[in-house]
Structure 1
Amino acid sequence: MREAPKQLTFDLPVDPRFEREDFLVSPSNEQAYGLIERWPDWPDNILILKGPRGSGKSHLAAIWAASAHAWTVDAFEVTGDKVPHLISNGTLAIEDADRAEMDEAAFFHLLNLARERKAFILVTCEKSPDGWGLRTPDLLSRLRLAPIVTLDAPDDALLKAVLVKLFVDRQLVVDTTVVDYIALRIERSLSKASDVVAALDKEALSRGRRVSRAIAAEILGTAQDTEENE
């Protein structure tokens, strides 16, 4: 029997939704969410938000930035000539502090200026400052003084809820058994869940069929083979 021809599909971008109402609270992130909600009643003017890739750090940073009217920059954008301007807003979110080549002198100056002017700084990272490979002892000491709140990898309930939401965002009707099947077999990461849903959407559309457990098994099997070969 000849296989039905696949439909032509287009990779239309689906922008991530980083609104407050889109953040799903669970035991893995409720402490971090609570502290973000408490702003400006923080224990310090600098807060470090730590968690593995795909744990929701950027989403929480976006929620805080919206409520605090903060600018958001990547860590590599913190350079000496920009420090006074970055602090001038009074609130600043710095993303991926441990994943970029950092201008340590500029970062140290920024933290000092923030404390002097009582500006608030939110820093996201995957590792604690001791694991950033910093070469400036004074900067490391200053970061060690900042409180750290940790997001854990999503638990089962959160991962399933996120999968359901991702399918709904794409207007896909998927059986709960498919969601359970996927949740048991993917990395505990919100970004991985997003990648898998996007791949399933594309494949199901190309076949002109609903997302099924059989299609999920194919996509997950292909993804696993690709990861093992890399």
Structure 2
Amino acid sequence: MGPQLPLALRYPPDQRFDSFIAPPEGALPALSSLAAMAGADWIYLSGASRTGKTHLALAVCAATEQQGRRAAYLPLAAAAGRMRDALDALEGHDVVALDGLDAIAGAREDEVALFDFHNRARASGLNVLYTARGIPDDIGLVLPDLRSRLQQCLRLVLDPLDDDGRREVLRDRAQRRGLALEDAALDWLLTRTDRDLGALVVLLDRLDRASLAAQRRITVPFLRQVL
């Protein structure tokens, strides 16, 4: 068996608390408490697609393991149809991030499995973070008891970033890669490409590779050539 990764390195270094741009007031302290303290408020984090829910879920797991505690991240889309087995495998952790409740909403057996897990986790002192695109009443859950449990969590809402926020995210991601991205190039990207933040970050990876291959800085003429 090979050497294990240092705990927090299992989570992407770009997706930490300190790289999250424009968090809602009080969100990072609440999420940090969830990572660090047994018995912290459970959190229900909602927001439209590409607002940073997965970023914060992974950041919570990394922060938990930096404290020497055990964390687990579960994207619920990957567990749909086998929730009970997937959730049973999470016993014994200190913090669990369940990302994307929408993926199992309406699947009664999966919802029952989640309801049972929620109750066991409460009784055992496990901390849980849920994420979803909407509030519990709006995502299509069919189990009233599960909805009522989720409504008892501390609720945080992520809003989409404006252009200034997107510019800050791209500048931060570029700096972390050691990539020089001129302001004019940033403006060009934001006015002529898909404004979806996830798509922009993927595009930045592509530009990073192209710039390395061509041994050129990312300027507006280079963007025109590559894109």
Q: Bin the TM-score by the shorter chain.
A: 0.7 to 0.9
- Hey, what does 2:174 align to over in structure 1? 167
2: CA distance between counterparts of 1:216 and 1:53? 27
Query: Quick one: distance in 2 between partners of 1:33 and 1:132?
Result: 24
Residue 82 of structure 1: how far off its partner (Å):
4.5
- Contact map agreement 2:38 2:94 (CA 8 A) in 1: no
Structure 1, residues 139-180: CA drift from partner, whole Å, max 9, x if none?
Answer: 122222222101111233332222122223343322211112
- 1:80 to 2:89 alignment: no
Which structure has the larger Rg? 1
Deviations 1:10-45 (A, max 9, x none): xxxxx6622444x1442x544322321233679974
Opposite residue 184 of structure 2, the aligned amino acid is T
Q: Is the 8 A contact 1:25 1:33 kept in 2?
A: no
Moved more, 96-105 or 173-182: 96-105
Of 87, 110, 118, the match for 2:117: 110
Q: CA deviation at 1:79?
A: 2.2
Correspondence for 1:158? 165
Q: Aligned partners of 2:164, 2:25: CA distance in 1, in Å?
A: 13
Mapping for residues 1-230 of structure 1, pairs under 5 Å: 17-21=14-18, 23-26=19-22, 28-39=23-34, 45-68=41-64, 69-75=70-76, 76-77=78-79, 79-100=83-104, 103-205=110-212, 207-217=214-224
Deviation, 1:94, is 0.7
Alignment check: 8 A CA contact 1:47 1:147 kept = yes
Q: Which moved more, 1:80-89 or 1:142-151?
A: 80-89
Deviation of 1:215 (Å): 4.0
* Cα drift, residue 214 of structure 1: 3.5
Farther-moved stretch of structure 1 (92-101 vs 121-130): 92-101
**Long gaps (5+) in structure 2:** 1-11, 65-69
* CA displacement at 1:112 relative to structure 2: 1.2
Aligned-CA RMSD value: 3.0
Structure 1 gaps of 5+ residues are: 1-14, 221-230
Structure 1 residue ranges (4+ consecutive) displaced by more than 6 angstroms after TM superposition: 41-44
Identity %: 26
Q: Deviations over 1:45-74 (max 9, x none)?
A: 431111223222222222211233321112
SS at match of 2:26: helix
Flag the structure with more relative contact order, 1 or 2, with Cα contacts below 8 A and sequence separation at least 6.
1
